Amino acid sequence: MANSKFEYVKQFEQPDNLLPNTWIVVRIDGRGFTKFANKYAFEKPNDKRALELMNAAARAVMGEVQDITVAYGVSDEYSFVFHKTCSLFERRASKLVSTIVSTFTAYYVHYWSTYFTDTPLSAPLPSFDGRAVCYPTVQNLRDYMSWRQVDCHINNLYNTTHWALIQLGGMDGTEAEMTLKGTYAADKNEILFSKFSINYNNEPEMYKKGSVVFRDYELVEPGTHNTSIDADHLAEPVQQSKTQTENDRKRRAKARIVVEHLDIIKDDFWNRRPWLLSNKP
Ligand code: DGT
Ligand code: MG
Ligand code: MG
Ligand code: MG
Ligand code: MG
């Protein structure tokens, strides 16, 4: 690049590389989705089309950004996890966040008509904010994921009961709110069951658990952790050869990206998919 007297302005750029050797989570969240959901008459409390559209966009993001190991989505938000060894964009926060936000938004708009077949998008168009947070340990990362899933559960149980009181019980918003004030989970389950014959356990898994997106390889059977999978997967090599890195990249690019609605709080999900938190694809 030719030198010019203007080039000194580069010095104004500030470094924003995220702490090395930490798990990076980029969480995106729909901007003003309360209003957006009303505009497009999203079903309350859960709109299957809206949630599946979020999942389709997240899946597409994972297809384009190979460095993401797992993602979790609920409501108008999605969390994307980068492995602690990730070196994409030299771990620059602004690059990581802006890439995820723009890729996600682009696919959200792209897939809109697939899920909302008879409601074309009109301005103001959907947009998302994003942030990056570093988690130093696997435990911190797992606790982060658990936090989001617990949030999903608490909100969904509340919302399901709240809207049942309104839609099936004929209450207005304030009455429903008063009815639920100070209630525990067991009380809400009881209201759903005794008043509306709804067994909360039978509600769709996507609503109760949110959505987890990951690359699918052969499952490890419970109790056989470390044995039925190539031991190489679990090792954390100090330095990897170029061919090995290239092979990993190809293997990752070929893997099927799946969306499931599973418990990610208990160990089982992670134990059966050791590649998610290991050093390998
Ligand atoms: P923000 O994020 O500060 O820009 O503001 P909002 O309005 O996006 O608020 P947020 O993100 O805390 O809450 C998400 C909103 O999106 C919440 O009001 C409910 C709405 N929403 C998300 N998914 C659904 C759905 O499936 N059905 C309906 N009816 N609403 C949904
Ligand atoms: Mg927000
Ligand atoms: Mg939002
Ligand atoms: Mg939100
Ligand atoms: Mg460029």
d(CA 280, CA 247) in angstroms, rounded, equals: 10
pLDDT tens for each residue of the chain, 281 residues long: 678 999 999 999 999 999 999 999 999 999 999 999 999 999 999 999 999 999 999 999 999 999 999 999 999 999 999 999 999 999 999 999 999 999 999 999 999 999 999 999 999 999 999 999 999 999 999 999 999 999 999 999 999 999 999 999 999 999 999 999 999 999 999 999 999 999 999 999 999 999 999 999 877 777 655 433 443 444 444 456 788 778 877 888 889 999 999 999 999 999 999 999 986 54
Question: pLDDT value at position 224?
Answer: 58
- Rounded to 10 deg, the angle between the 138-167 and 173-180 helix axes is 130
d(CA 76, CA 74) in angstroms, rounded, equals: 6
Token reading at 191:
């209201």
Atom of ligand 1 nearest to the CA of 51: 26
Question: pLDDT value at position 220?
Answer: 74
Question: pLDDT value at position 227?
Answer: 37
Atom of ligand 1 nearest to the CA of 48: 26
Note whether 211 and 58 are within 8 A (CB). yes
CATH hierarchy code of domain 16-148+205-276 = 3.30.70.3000
Q: Determine the residue of 27, 29, 33 to mutate for testing ligand 1's pocket, defined as the one with the most ligand atoms within 8 A of the Cβ atom.
A: 33
Question: pLDDT value at position 115?
Answer: 98
Q: Which residues pair with 17 in a beta bridge?
A: 92
Distance 57 CA to ligand 4 centre (A): 16
Question: pLDDT value at position 89?
Answer: 98
Question: pLDDT value at position 212?
Answer: 98
Q: Cβ neighbours of residue 239 under 8 Å, at least 6 residues apart?
A: none
Domains of the chain by residue range: 16-148+205-276
Q: Determine the residue of 44, 48, 76 to mutate for testing ligand 1's pocket, defined as the one with the most ligand atoms within 8 A of the Cβ atom.
A: 76
Atom of ligand 1 nearest to the CA of 46: 26
Note whether 116 and 235 are within 8 A (CB). no
